[in-house]
Amino acid sequence: MFSLRRIHVVVLGLLAALLVPTAVAAKSGKDKRGGKAPATIPLPNGFQPEGIAAGKGKDLYVGSIPTGAIWKGDAKKGTGSVLVPGREGRAAIGVKVDKRAKRIVVAGGTTGKAFVYGARDGRDIAQLQLAPAGQDTFVNDVTLTRRGAFFTDSRLKQIYRVRGGKVRTIPLTGDIAYETGNNANGIESAKGGRVLITVQTNTGKLFTVNPRTGVTDEIDLGGASLANGDGLLLRGRTLFVVQNRLNKIAVVRLSRNLRSGRVVRELTNPAFDVPTTLAASHGRLYTVNARFGIAPSPDNRYDVVRVGR
């Protein structure tokens, strides 16, 4: 077991201890305030989750890939319900909640769209066409900055910026080279939004992205690979990278100039079943089990997993 304080003090104790086995059946352990937090939180059967985001207080939000539904739950109580009903023509991949916890911003996968909902009542606020209709697109993840919302596209070599309801397409140039399969996936902002970071799923490489020009620079990982890299979470210079089908989360310590990084730890958990994205809520990390290895069924069980004890 270890504390993230030993990795980087800026992490501020996201996890008091990690690598503690957790059972799939919901167990409870005391949180830092003395309350109990479940080790797993059940989602509706057949939900097919991918994105997870933290909101106000203990609120967690999870999106459904095929329907676009958004589930809202309480990380401490381990309960929740569908806030945004699923509907035809929608999808939910990456999910983020703004700092005021008023809006849920969703990457729409093969729809080529972004969707925005009310975080309190689930109402429709906006839907925006990011990629031209008819193109082979997969709008995968989103990060929110003062300069706007930035979305990755795993099939088209570009990112999208949404600001004030306007969409700008920014071609990616520089070091990143798109290949067959999923390319740019998870995205995070660094240095106050002046730099973006993305992971390329099929190559296991990490890149910085200039949010104005789209120029990419590979981050030197010293030969390490982040294969199957999916969701990202940045705290200070500590970057958590979910490696979905490998059932682990890499902890990467980045240099101050973001030109290099080293994998300092790998987090595992017996409850992982293809985790995809991460959210931080009140000193804890939470992920979702996408269970990509099983055939979709309305009877399949899905859950949110607390990463540490």
Q: What is the pLDDT of residue 15?
A: 33
Per the prediction, the chain carries an average pLDDT of 90
Q: What is the pLDDT of residue 133?
A: 86
Residue 24 has pLDDT above 50, yes or no: no
DSSP, collapsed to helix, strand or coil, labels residue 177 as coil
pLDDT tens-digit series, residues 120-157: 999 999 999 999 989 999 999 999 999 999 999 999 99
Q: What is the pLDDT of residue 83?
A: 98
- What would the mean pLDDT of 155-163 be, rounded to a whole number? 98
Q: Name the more confident of 15 and 132.
A: 132
Nearest Cα residue to 277 out of 225, 242, 236, 240: 242
- The domain tally of the chain equals 1
pLDDT over 70 percentage in the chain: 88
Residue 7 has pLDDT above 50, yes or no: no
What's the rounded Cα separation, in Å, for the pair 121 and 142? 21
Give the model's confidence band at 308: pLDDT under 50 very low, under 70 low, under 90 confident, else very high.
confident
Residue 178 has pLDDT above 80, yes or no: yes
Residue 16 has pLDDT above 70, yes or no: no
What's the rounded Cα separation, in Å, for the pair 146 and 194? 9
pLDDT tens-digit series, residues 65-109: 999 999 999 999 999 999 999 999 999 999 999 999 999 999 999
What's the rounded Cα separation, in Å, for the pair 200 and 211? 17
Q: Kindly report the CATH number assigned to the domain that includes residue 262.
A: 2.120.10.30
Residue with tokens 């080293």, as numbered in its chain: 262
Residue 26 has pLDDT above 80, yes or no: no
Residue 39 identity: A
Q: What is the pLDDT of residue 37?
A: 80
pLDDT tens-digit series, residues 272-283: 999 999 999 988
Q: What is the pLDDT of residue 207?
A: 99
- What would the mean pLDDT of 16-43 be, rounded to a whole number? 54
pLDDT over 90 percentage in the chain: 86
Q: What is the pLDDT of residue 309?
A: 67
Nearest Cα residue to 229 out of 196, 208, 184, 199: 199
Give the model's confidence band at 25: pLDDT under 50 very low, under 70 low, under 90 confident, else very high.
very low
What's the rounded Cα separation, in Å, for the pair 40 and 25? 7
Q: What is the pLDDT of residue 14?
A: 36
What's the rounded Cα separation, in Å, for the pair 162 and 170? 11
- What would the mean pLDDT of 244-270 be, rounded to a whole number? 98
Strand partners, 41: 304
Range of the domain at 124: 4-306
Give the model's confidence band at 20: pLDDT under 50 very low, under 70 low, under 90 confident, else very high.
very low
